[in-house]
Structure formats: C-alpha cells, structure tokens
C-alpha cells in the first residue's frame, strides 16, 4: 500500500508542477500580448505537423505582402537555421530559436528573443512553431491568432486525432491543395471534423507552391492587421 501511495503522490506532484509551469507561461504570454498591443503588431503563431508547409507559406506570403506590410519571423526548430535562412532570402528578417530537443516553443523563449528583433514599424510578427500537433497546444505565446496547417498529404483525420490543438486554433489552413487530385484527402471531412472540435475555426484552402488561395489568405492578414491597429488605437504609419 505504501508503494502505491508514494506513486500516487508522485503523479499529483507532477500534475501540480505542470499546472504551475503553464501558469508561469501564461503570465509571460500576457506580457508579450500587452507589448504587441501597444505596438499594434499582429502576432501569429503557426503550428503544424513537420512538413505541412509553414516555411513555404511564409515564403509565399512574403512574396505577396512584403511591399505592403512590414513582417518579421521567429522560427522555432530543434536544430539548424535552415528555415530562417529560407525566409531571409525572401527579404524578411527572421530569427532562429533552436530549442535543442524541446518539442515546442514557450512564452519565455519568445520573451528572450524579442529584444534581438527591431520591432519598430513591424506590422505582423509570425512565430513558426516547432513541427508538432501535441505539445504546442498547451503553450500560449501571446499570439492574436493561432493558425494550424493541415497538409493534404498527411490525411484528413488530424482534427479528431489531435483535438487539443484544434480546440485552441483560430484558423485552419488546408495546405498543398495542388496535390488533392493525387491523394486520398477530403477537404469537406477535415473541415467538418475541425468544426466538431471547435465550431469557431475559420478555414482556408491554399497551395503555397501554385499560389491557389493565397490572395484570400493575404487579404485576411491585411484585414486582421488593420483590425488590430484600430482596436488598439495605434496610428497608421
């Protein structure tokens, strides 16, 4: 009985520690959110499985909007600066956060990275999270919008398999739409499942490679940025 009792206490202590860590994360996230509000910066947290097209989306978005909106990117990866290098080649300032094995970004990582970015005049700050549909769901990064990518190549069952992520998602992007004729993927099914998990999710279908749907996505970003600045009373530059 004593062994079982000790084991139970250990589980409860672990749960308490997790709760306290998340509370600390949320506190830091709120300081980030307040700073972004004061500056009128739209903060977007991009999450997905590995290989769903986050970096390709940022490249395509930069090509369309870099002369309209001032964008910067924080990139989270377990190792290498390859994704940040790709974004820099598009003329967008990108800072790499190498997590060294951690499967998600946390608010404190973002807080520590922000002083290395010149945020003067920035309109949109993207956070490209570590490729993972589990861990990042629990960590608020101070974002205005959480955008989850689901590629046509990974199957249409992700919202039901990873409900925690989709419950906290504002926008679902169905990516790599140019491959729809070649893969067993139902756009209607993935949207229906996402709405069962979270009825407030908005959905976009696009191909970063071919450009299909990008115009709608970019117009949405412009609208969200204008709305943020209006809500916070930040004068247009």
Domains of the chain (ranges, CATH numbers): 2-232 (3.40.50.300)
Q: 3-class SS at 97?
A: strand
Which of the residues in the chain have pLDDT under 70? 1-19, 21, 234-237
Give the model's pLDDT for residue 103. 85
- The rounded mean pLDDT for the chain is 90
Do residues 47 and 75 lie in contact, with contact meaning Cβ atoms separated by under 8 Å? no
In what side-by-side order are the strands of the sheet with 42-48? 93-98, 71-77, 124-128, 42-48, 145-151, 171-175, 202-205
Give the model's pLDDT for residue 140. 96
pTM (2 decimals)? 0.88
**Euclidean distance between CA atoms 19 and 187, whole angstroms:** 36
Give the model's pLDDT for residue 15. 53
Give the model's pLDDT for residue 77. 85
Give the model's pLDDT for residue 18. 56
Pick from 204, 49, 52, 196: nearest CA to 137:
49
Give the model's pLDDT for residue 167. 97
- In the chain, helix, strand, coil percent, each to 5? 50, 15, 35
Beta bridge partners of 146: 45
Do residues 53 and 151 lie in contact, with contact meaning Cβ atoms separated by under 8 Å? yes
Give the model's pLDDT for residue 16. 59
Give the model's pLDDT for residue 100. 80
Do residues 185 and 156 lie in contact, with contact meaning Cβ atoms separated by under 8 Å? yes
Structure tokens at 52: 């769903």
Give the model's pLDDT for residue 47. 97
């Amino acid at each position: 009985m004593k062994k079982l009792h000790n084991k139970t206490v250990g589980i409860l202590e672990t749960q308490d520690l997790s709760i306290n860590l998340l509370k600390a994360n949320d506190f830091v996230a709120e300081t980030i959110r307040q700073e972004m509000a004061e500056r009128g910066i739209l903060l977007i947290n991009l999450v997905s499985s590995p290989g769903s097209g986050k970096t390709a989306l940022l490249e395509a978005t930069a090509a369309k909007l870099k002369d309209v909106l001032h964008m910067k990117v924080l990139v989270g990866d377990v190792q290498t600066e390859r994704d940040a290098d790709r974004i820099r080649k598009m003329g967008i300032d990108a800072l790499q956060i190498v997590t060294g094995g951690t499967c998600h970004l946390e608010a404190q990582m973002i807080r520590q990275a922000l002083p290395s970015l010149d945020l003067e005049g920035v309109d949109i700050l993207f956070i490209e999270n570590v490729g993972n549909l589990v861990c990042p769901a629990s960590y608020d990064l101070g974002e205005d919008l959480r955008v989850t990518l689901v590629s046509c190549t990974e199957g249409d069952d992700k919202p039901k398999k990873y409900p925690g992520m989709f419950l906290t998602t504002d926008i679902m992007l169905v990516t790599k739409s140019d491959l729809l004729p070649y893969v067993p993927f139902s756009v209607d099914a993935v949207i229906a499942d996402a709405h069962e998990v979270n009825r407030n999710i908005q959905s976009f279908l696009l191909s970063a490679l071919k450009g299909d749907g990008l115009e709608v996505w970019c117009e949405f970003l412009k609208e969200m940025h204008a709305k943020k600045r209006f809500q916070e009373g930040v004068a247009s530059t």
